[in-house]
Amino acid sequence: MTIEQEALKHFSEVSVAVELQTPDMTLNIGPQHPSTHGVLRIVAKVDGERVSDVTPVIGYMHRGYEKIAEVRTYPQITALVNRIDWVSGFANEVPFMAAAEKLMEIEVPERARYIRMILTEMARISSHLMFMASYPLELGATTPLMFALRERERVLDLIESVTGGRFHPNFNRIGGVQPNAGAGPTQKKAVQDLPRGFLQGARDAMDSLLKTCVEFDELVTGNEIFLARCKGVGILSPELAADFGVSGPNLRASGVAFDLRKHTDYLPYDKVQFEVATGTVGDSLDRWLVRLEEIRQSAYIIQQAVDQIPSGPLQAKVPKIIKVPKGEVYVRAENPKGEMGYYIVSDGGQGPYRLKIRSASYSNISVIPILLEGVLVPDIIAIMGSFDFVLGDVDR
Partner 1 sequence: MTASPSDTTATEEPTGPSALDSYAESVAKSVGALSWSTNFDTVKVLVATDKWTSSLRTAKNELGLIFFSFLSAIHWSNDVEVGDAPTEPVDERLEVLAAVGDLIEGRLVHFSTSLPVNGAALATLTGIYGGANWHEREAAEMFAIDFIGHPNLEKLYLPSEFEGHPLRKSFPLLSREVKPWPGKVDVEGMPETDEDATQDPAAETMPSGVSTENPGK
Query: What DSSP assignment string belongs to 115-135?
Result: HHHHHHHHHHHHHHHHHHHHH
CB contact at 8 A, 244 and 367: yes
DSSP E strands, the chain: 25-29, 41-47, 50-57, 172-173, 176-177, 327-335, 338-346, 354-358
Q: Choose among 304, 247, 246: nearest CA to 275.
A: 304
Show the binding pattern over residues 249-278: x = contacts partner 1 (CB under 8 A), - = does not.
Answer: --x----x-x-x-xxx--------------
Q: Cβ neighbours of residue 296 under 8 Å, at least 6 residues apart?
A: 210, 213
Core vs surface per residue 176-191: b (16+ CB within 10 A) or e: bbbbebbebeeeeeee
319 binds partner 1 (CB under 8 A): no
Q: How far is the CB of 39 from partner 1 (least distance, A)?
A: 12
Give the CA angle between residues 179, 346, 319 to the nearest 5°: 30
Interacting positions 341-370 with partner 1 (CB under 8 A) = 341, 343, 345, 347-351, 353-354, 356, 358, 362-363, 366-367, 370
Cα–Cα distance for residue pair 208/189, rounded to 1 Å: 30
The counts of H helices and E strands in the chain are: 15, 8
Cα–Cα distance for residue pair 388/361, rounded to 1 Å: 8
310 binds partner 1 (CB under 8 A): no
64 binds partner 1 (CB under 8 A): yes
Q: How far is the CB of 67 from partner 1 (least distance, A)?
A: 6
Interacting positions 211-250 with partner 1 (CB under 8 A) = 239-240, 242-245, 247
* Total residues interacting with partner 1, rule: CB under 8 A: 52
Instruction: Give whichever of 213 and 281 is closer to partner 1, judged by the CB atom.
Output: 281
What values do phi and psi take at 11, rounded to 5? -60, -45
52 binds partner 1 (CB under 8 A): no
Instruction: Give whichever of 209 and 360 is closer to partner 1, judged by the CB atom.
Output: 360
| Of the residues 49, 70, 215, 373, which one makes contact with partner 1 according to CB under 8 A | 70
Q: How far is the CB of 100 from partner 1 (least distance, A)?
A: 11
Instruction: Give whichever of 62 and 211 is closer to partner 1, judged by the CB atom.
Output: 62
Helix (H, G, I), strand (E, B) or coil at 37: coil
Q: How far is the CB of 99 from partner 1 (least distance, A)?
A: 9
Q: How far is the CB of 216 from partner 1 (least distance, A)?
A: 28
Please give the residue ranges that form the binding site for partner 1 (CB under 8 A).
58-59, 62, 64, 66-68, 70-73, 102-103, 239-240, 242-245, 247, 251, 256, 258, 260, 262-264, 326-330, 332, 339, 341, 343, 345, 347-351, 353-354, 356, 358, 362-363, 366-367, 370, 395
